[in-house]
Structure 1
Amino acid sequence: MVTAVNSVQQNSTTTTTDSASKTAVDYQSFLRLLVAEMKNQDPTNPMDSTQYVAQLAAFSQVEQSVQINNRLDQLLQASTLAQADALIGRTVTSADGKTSGVVQEVRLTSNGAVAVLEGGKQVTVGPGIVISQGS
């Protein structure tokens, strides 16, 4: 059983929607700023139109980078879910070797995945843990 799957998917959708709306607001703000800059420029020394195009291109590149980061976050979350599912039924030993048992469920937290063993003990999934076939 993998818990918090629905909340991760909902949070991902919410984060993506929020990021998209923030990006859209920023894009609209940029266009308003650009129009205001054009209206208020010195008529004796107007700004070159290529500078406006360069500013717009730079902002577009930043917007695309934000969208790429959002997609990478979604891929990482999907990868974490797949890895969590693969742990169920396997034996996990903590990095210090003190806690060991068969994974009953995996909980996804903001700090990463936590394997819940039979008997209720928990092992944080991270560097140094040992994963083997169930006993």
Structure 2
Amino acid sequence: MSVPATTSSTNAASTTSTSTSSTSESNTLDYNSFLQLLVAQLQNQDPTDPTDPTQFISQLASFSSVEQLVNANSRLDTMLTQAAISQGASLIGKNVTSADGTVSGKIVSIEINSSGSVATLANGSTIELASGVVIS
């Protein structure tokens, strides 16, 4: 009898690790997934001790607020990227000198990445466009 219990425990552990790995792959929860969880929670609640409905409304309101903040943040990121592209385009053809004065030249291209903008010069060197860089 101890063998089936061990097998059952092993199956439960592998199921847990599978759900954990899928959760770590995608840490996002969209609105529909949240509603599915909410409905499942309602369907599986203990009938002798039902959950307070105000808790569900509170959870839904909190999720809605977070979703709105994520959407606003996404729009802000898009606006910042567009501004960086616009600014970068206006810098092509201008001369740039690094903050320490060791690298200078004419900008031939701009790369925009998560850490900022990087200018590629005509001589092949690159300069991160940060504070202290002189553009003329």
- Measured after TM superposition, the shift of residue 55 of structure 1 is 1.0
Q: Does 1:96 align with 2:110?
A: no
More off after superposition, 26-35 vs 77-86: 26-35
- Measured after TM superposition, the shift of residue 74 of structure 1 is 0.3
Larger radius of gyration: 2
What one-letter code is carried by the residue in structure 2 that aligns with 1:108?
I
Q: Does 1:47 align with 2:46?
A: no
1:58-112 deviation line (CA, Å, top 9, x unaligned): 1111111111111111011111101111211211100110111221222234433
Q: Percent identity?
A: 49
What TM-score results when the alignment is normalised by the length of structure 2? 0.71
In 2: Cα distance, 1:30 partner to 1:110 partner: 30
In 2: Cα distance, 1:73 partner to 1:53 partner: 30
- Residue equivalent to 1:112: 116
Instruction: Report the count of equivalent residues.
Output: 111
1:13-66 deviation line (CA, Å, top 9, x unaligned): xxxxxxxxx899632221121112111222222222222111111111111111
- Measured after TM superposition, the shift of residue 122 of structure 1 is 1.9
- 1:1-135 correspondence to structure 2 within 5 Å: 26-132=30-136
More off after superposition, 107-116 vs 52-61: 107-116
Q: Indicate the SS of the match to 1:46.
A: coil
What TM-score results when the alignment is normalised by the length of structure 1? 0.72
Q: Structure 1 unaligned runs (5+)?
A: 1-21
Q: Indicate the SS of the match to 2:33.
A: helix
In 1: Cα distance, 2:30 partner to 2:119 partner: 40
What one-letter code is carried by the residue in structure 2 that aligns with 1:82?
S
Q: Indicate the SS of the match to 1:35.
A: helix
What one-letter code is carried by the residue in structure 2 that aligns with 1:121?
S
Larger RCO of the pair (alpha carbons < 8 Å, separation 6+): 1
Structure 1's 41 and 71: CA in aligned 2 closer, same or farther, altered over 3 A?
A: same
In 2: Cα distance, 1:67 partner to 1:23 partner: 16
